[in-house]
Structure 1
């Protein structure tokens, strides 16, 4: 995906279809392998409940799954403009995560074939008032993204990135129509006999 997702670090409305396809196909391979491994470990009739971050929308570029990464990309792009990060480094960085819809999760379970789906639910995780204002979300995103950023960009920019990112989060969340949404997909399934 190097340089094909220019200016982005994740799937975005401006990502070309090839990038969206690559993310989806990687999710399919990884989740299929996960299901095969769990099927080998489980006895017939055994039950597994899995909860993962996901999305309600069929659109993999929807705000509910891309918003926080878009804001981090905005932060990094501003640092590129200021000469703090090299553009080539920015363009070769991609977050290795895919937030699936409940349909995509169900499709992969059915395709793998070892489980019967008992129930699939999608729900929002309520954020505290502090999280909704960005106070803690910068710290949460740092816990997720720092190791990736550190290995790609080096240690020298980390403090600056997350100071700026927290400010960007606060500014965007102060807008009238902005809110953070964490969507989870939970699936309960039983191992076939």
Structure 2
């Protein structure tokens, strides 16, 4: 990147200091419950579940700022957490479930099975999202994103 060049990024983030709070792991919790359900139905081998590990981290704004400063190649020109109203973004719980599938299926399909198993898994995820919408769980209604503009420092 050229000196004084800029990069803009938008990532999922969290407001709380708790790295495993509901706002950070909601989607993965849904997947975990759905996978466990398919294990209980005999559609996924329990050994596959036990051997699966997907380390996921949703950072806070403070963590991003600290990492940028520690790495040292960039300055932060702008950084802000945004609450995204998901009801407006995804018009239905089914649309939200499709989003979950879009980002997670490439990460988990190699571990848990063919298209038939994946279809059953995401059908279960869809059912759970529909129920969460009916109960108006806060984690189904909002998402937190971090927007940052970083400027490449000049090197001498």
TM norm structure 2: 0.87
Secondary structure (helix, strand or coil) at the match of 2:59 reads coil
Contact 1:132/1:179 (8 A) holds in 2: no
The alpha carbon displacement at 1:98 in A equals: 2.0
Matched, 1:95 2:51: no
Distance 1:73 1:147 in 2: 15
Give the structure with the larger strand fraction: 2
Corresponding residue for 1:73? 32
**Which residue of 2 is the match for residue 173 of structure 1?**
133
Residues 173, 179 of structure 1: 8 Å contact kept: no
The answer to whether 1:158 aligns with 2:145 is no
Aligned pair count reads: 152
CA deviation string 1:87-115 (max 9, x = no partner): 11112223353211111111111011111
Do the aligned partners of 1:47 and 1:191 also contact (CA within 8 Å) in 2?
yes
TM-superposed CA distance for 1:176, in Å, is 4.2
Q: Which has the higher contact order (CA 8 A, sep 6+)?
A: 2
Gaps of 5+ in 2: none
2:42 paired residue number:
83
Q: What RMSD over aligned residues (CA atoms) do the two structures have, in Å?
A: 1.9
Kindly state the Cα deviation for residue 132 of structure 1 after the two structures are TM-superposed. Answer: 6.7
Q: 1:106, 1:59 → 2: CA distance?
A: 17
Cα distance between partner residues in 1 of 2:5 and 2:67: 19
| 1:192 corresponds to which of 145, 153, 156 | 153
Matched, 1:135 2:94: yes
Distance 1:132 1:172 in 2: 15
